[in-house]
Amino acid sequence: MDTQILSGKTVSSAVYDGLTSRINTLKTKGITPGLAVLLVGEDPASQVYVNSKTKKFSELDLFSETLRLPVETSEDDLISHIHILNSDKRFNGILVQLPLPKHIDSDKILNTISPEKDVDGFNPVNLGNLTAGKPTFIPCTPKGIMRILSHYDIDLSGKHVVVVGRSNIVGRPISILTSLKSPMANATVTICHSGTKDIFQFTRQADAVILALGYPEFLKGDHIKEGAVVIDVGINRLEDNSDKGYKLVGDGEETSLKEKASALTPVPGGVGPMTIAMLVENTVEAAERSL
Ligand code: NDP
């Protein structure tokens, strides 16, 4: 099949172009959108994610600062840091890099971030607004998925969307976004997870499948219907014989999916670049709302 490749690189660069004039307007008013990042511990993947986020902020001449805290940081100490950042006017957005060490209750931490600075959209106030159909800050990855779909004019209205995964970061919010009565959404949505019996009976009925489970090459061409759209959020390392010793693959098996899917996000270069673009956009939005 002639599968359309939905490029997050293309869409994210359109997002950055669109943000330039908004950033310039803010700067003429004396505001440089600023992001505070809190990183607890030395998890290598988290370090990579944080570095790529702050690198983008500096490329765009935006302000960001990373507070690196030792792994033994207590929950109370982390909460104190967030309180200080909540009232620091240099920062329009605050991001706590997940996962946190096990002795820290992530929900309590996300609850401490001021909803006005919660550019990741994980605070219960923002998640509640999203669920009520009045989104304030939308979590970056699901927001990025919706942006890819609208960029490529893929309208989900009246379609059956199957989401695999129900995390608060991706699966749950994208299932809500796609089901909202709003342009390009308005879909009938099924959420599958580790408790679902025979996931593929659902994916085979779907007009669009959104994969967010973190299981390499889980979905194959045989598991979708002809012409389905596949959005692959997964980022997994598969060991191979290359110099790096691994390759990155999604939750879908690209080769067999391309035989049946009408459109597909690649891994890497699909949803990934959108997550950072939406973080920048949410931070710019937070700065605009602070005027
Ligand atoms: P989580 O581990 O938090 O959630 C995974 C979800 O998938 C859970 O709901 C889990 O079910 C479900 N699940 C796991 N294995 C299976 C299975 N075999 N069958 C059915 N359901 C299953 O992951 P995240 O949502 O944080 O991330 C998902 C993937 O997306 C990961 O690969 C991650 O790296 C990637 N990711 C990519 C981003 C990007 O920018 N591109 C951003 C964020 C994540 P249950 O609830 O029952 O445990």
C-alpha 195 to ligand 1 mean position (Å): 13
| Residue 159 lies inside a defined structural domain of this protein | yes
Checking if the pLDDT of 284 tops 90, the result is yes
Average pLDDT over all residues of the chain: 97
| Residue 20 lies inside a defined structural domain of this protein | no
pLDDT value at position 95?
98
List CB contacts of 178: < 8 A, sequence separation 6 or more: 146, 156, 161, 163, 185, 187, 189, 210
pLDDT value at position 13?
98
Domain final residue, candidates 114, 129, 164? 114
Checking if the pLDDT of 113 tops 90, the result is yes
* 149, 263: one domain: yes
pLDDT value at position 143?
98
Q: Are 141 and 124 in contact (CB under 8 A)?
A: no
In ligand 1, which atom is closest to the CA atom of 193? 21
Range 232-256 average pLDDT: 95
| Residue 6 lies inside a defined structural domain of this protein | no
* 96, 168: one domain: no
pLDDT value at position 117?
98
* 53, 168: one domain: no
For residue 131, give both structure tokens.
Answer: 């669920």
Among the listed residues 118, 120, 207, 251, the single catalytic one is 120
pLDDT value at position 131?
96
Q: How far apart are CA 16 and CA 98, in angstroms?
A: 25
For 260-275, the pLDDT digits (tens) are 999 999 999 999 999 9
pLDDT value at position 147?
98
Query: Which residue puts its alpha carbon closest to atom 30 of ligand 1?
Result: 234
| Residue 17 lies inside a defined structural domain of this protein | no
The best mutation among 6, 46, 170 to test binding of ligand 1, ranked by most ligand atoms within 8 Å of the C-beta, falls on 170
pLDDT value at position 204?
98
User: How many domains are there within the chain?
Assistant: 2
Checking if the pLDDT of 1 tops 90, the result is no
**53: annotated active-site residue:** yes
* 153, 244: one domain: yes
* 155, 252: one domain: yes
For 152-168, the pLDDT digits (tens) are 999 999 999 999 999 99
| Residue 229 lies inside a defined structural domain of this protein | yes
Tell if the pTM clears 0.75, that is, is over it: yes
**Residues spanned by the domain of 181:** 139-272
Range 107-119 average pLDDT: 98
**What's the N-to-C CA distance of the chain in angstroms?**
50
* 106, 144: one domain: no
Assign residue 68 the CATH number of its domain.
3.40.50.10860
C-alpha 67 to ligand 1 mean position (Å): 27
* 264, 204: one domain: yes
**17: annotated active-site residue:** no
* 246, 147: one domain: yes
* 206, 264: one domain: yes
| Residue 126 lies inside a defined structural domain of this protein | no
* 91, 156: one domain: no
* 170, 255: one domain: yes
Q: What percent of the chain has pLDDT over 70?
A: 100
| Residue 282 lies inside a defined structural domain of this protein | no
DSSP structure string for 207-240: SEEEE-S--TT-B-GGGS-TT-EEEE---EEEE-
Among the listed residues 97, 117, 143, 232, the single catalytic one is 97
- Give the residue from 52, 230, 35, 271 showing the smallest Cα distance to 144: 271
| Residue 12 lies inside a defined structural domain of this protein | no
- Give the residue from 95, 108, 46 showing the smallest Cα distance to 71: 46
Assign residue 169 the CATH number of its domain.
3.40.50.720
Count Cα atoms within 13 angstroms, Cβ side, for 247: 8
Q: How far apart are CA 279 and CA 285, in angstroms?
A: 10
* 71, 192: one domain: no
Q: What percent of the chain has pLDDT over 90?
A: 99
